[in-house]
């Protein structure tokens, strides 16, 4: 839920601007000086499945232009991701490092808190799916992130938009509330590693309600706030529905098929393949230009529901948005033929390259197994995020706790593949 301020506060597509601008260094939040989280005894062996495309900080890896160097050099991937996960786990369990909320918008401040805990829950859970030996160590933080996400005060900003104090109940009665797709997706990933989660019933309720409302729209639109509809938020809802089906076995095929058909036909710019950032909530027609930030958010989220559309959006990001300088890569905020002002949606924009688009594309590249792009984008994050390691915990000083959580989620991103399905089912049978 990214909010753009233009006169009256307007709604945007959530996690991107603040979270990934932080991860790539456009905010200055020093890391907390706190002791390391103690391990439950799990080893930090260099297993390559979860993190096999993350470049090591060694010059030989970061300086290589070979995609195979990133994919094949297994030693070192967990040396980056596990210390980062431990840092994120500390922030979540101690509710530390989010920093002062001083944007002047209670809505945007609330969205920032959601971003922190959603990305933390997903990043930690994705790591556990690929490396089950770390489940015992990281599960307490995963549960803590889920607990924080379901607290009523976390969603006060959304309830205020609809004048209801209980948005979890309200969404079952009336359409809208697409911002809850971010919670729903996080709960799906939590449930994949913690099937007995106390939030399973809420996960089911939210998914059923959001799927019903989305299917009822003849243009595939679900409002985020009254009178405001954002395809990246709709993509998050679709992804959440898909992940719920993968984790629980529920059949949402018809709802997903309809939603994807509308999304491709109405929200994707025919010329560039980028996603329009905002649409009319009644007609589904574009209100804003196609944007790299919204496209990257959508490519990440839709991978949990429809691999084909997610792949199409990723290829559009590469073909129409990729920018390279030396060995670094970024993604343009606007495709050729479109221009606009840099805003909170895009995050920091430098020479046309957007921080939000670039950082979400890290996750999309990993999902699509685009090793060469992943390496180039991760090199950008590793260089300009200013990573520091102390007492076994890794943090990116330009982004603080929120940036750490975001980068962890992107470094471990991936839909429930056959391998992850198997891990989730084993967890369910515990």
Q: Which residue has the tokens 């982004």?
A: 399
What's the distance, CA 390 to chain centroid?
A: 26
> Is-contact 330 24, C-beta < 8 A?
no
**Residue 408 above 60 pLDDT?**
yes
Alpha carbons 410 and 78: distance in angstroms, whole number: 14
**Which residues, at least 6 apart from 371, have a Cβ–Cβ distance to it below 8 Å?**
53, 67, 68, 70, 71, 365
Alpha carbons 379 and 362: distance in angstroms, whole number: 10
pLDDT digit string, tens, across residues 291-340: 999 999 999 999 999 999 999 999 999 999 999 988 899 999 999 999 88
Residue ranges of the domains in the chain? 4-428
Sign of CA dihedral 286, 261, 420, 193: positive
Res. 427 pLDDT band, cuts 50 70 90: low
pLDDT digit string, tens, across residues 181-212: 999 999 999 999 999 999 999 999 999 999 99
> Which residues make beta-bridge pairs with 322?
331
CATH for 4-428? 1.50.10
Torsion-angle region of 118 (φ positive above 0: left; ψ -120 to 50: alpha; else: beta): alpha
16/39: higher pLDDT: 16
pLDDT digit string, tens, across residues 262-302: 999 999 999 999 999 999 999 999 999 999 999 999 999 99
């Amino acid at each position: 839920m990214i909010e753009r301020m233009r006169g009256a506060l307007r709604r945007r597509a959530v996690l991107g601007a603040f979270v990934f601008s932080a991860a790539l260094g456009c905010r200055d939040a020093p890391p907390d000086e706190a002791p390391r989280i103690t391990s439950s005894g799990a080893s930090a062996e260099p297993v390559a499945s979860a993190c096999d495309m993350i470049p090591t900080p060694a010059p030989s890896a970061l300086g290589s232009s070979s995609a195979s160097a990133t994919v094949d050099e297994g030693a070192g991937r967990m040396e980056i991701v596990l210390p980062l996960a431990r840092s994120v786990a500390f922030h979540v369990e101690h509710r530390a490092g989010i920093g002062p909320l001083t944007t002047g918008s209670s809505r945007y401040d609330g969205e920032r808190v959601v971003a922190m805990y959603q990305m933390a829950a997903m990043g930690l859970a994705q790591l556990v799916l690929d490396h089950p030996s770390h489940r015992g160590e990281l599960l307490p933080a995963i549960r803590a992130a889920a607990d924080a996400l379901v607290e009523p005060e976390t969603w006060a900003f959304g309830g205020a938009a609809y004048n209801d104090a209980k948005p979890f109940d309200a969404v079952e009665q009336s359409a809208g509330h697409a911002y809850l797709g971010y919670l729903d997706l996080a709960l799906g990933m939590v449930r994949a590693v913690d099937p007995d989660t106390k939030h399973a019933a809420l996960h089911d309720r939210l998914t059923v309600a959001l799927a019903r409302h989305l299917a009822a729209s003849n243009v595939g639109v679900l409002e985020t706030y009254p009178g405001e509809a954002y395809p990246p938020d709709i993509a998050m809802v679709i992804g959440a529905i898909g992940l719920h089906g993968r984790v629980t076995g529920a059949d949402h095929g018809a709802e997903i098929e309809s939603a994807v058909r509308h999304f491709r036909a109405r929200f994707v710019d025919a010329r560039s393949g980028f996603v329009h950032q905002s649409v009319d909530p009644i007609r589904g027609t574009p209100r804003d230009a196609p944007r790299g930030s919204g496209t990257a958010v959508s490519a990440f989220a839709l991978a949990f529901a429809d691999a084909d559309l997610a792949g199409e959006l990723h290829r559009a990001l590469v073909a129409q948005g990729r920018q390279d300088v030396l060995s670094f890569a970024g993604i343009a905020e606007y495709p050729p033929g479109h221009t606009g002002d840099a805003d909170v949606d895009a995050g920091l924009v430098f020479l046309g390259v957007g921080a939000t688009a670039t950082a979400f594309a890290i996750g999309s590249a990993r999902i699509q197994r685009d090793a060469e792009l992943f390496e180039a984008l991760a090199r950008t994050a590793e260089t300009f995020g200013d990573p520091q390691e102390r007492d076994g915990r890794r943090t990116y000083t330009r982004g603080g706790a929120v940036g750490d959580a975001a980068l962890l989620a992107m470094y471990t991103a991936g839909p429930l593949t056959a391998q992850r399905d198997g891990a989730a089912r084993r967890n369910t049978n515990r």
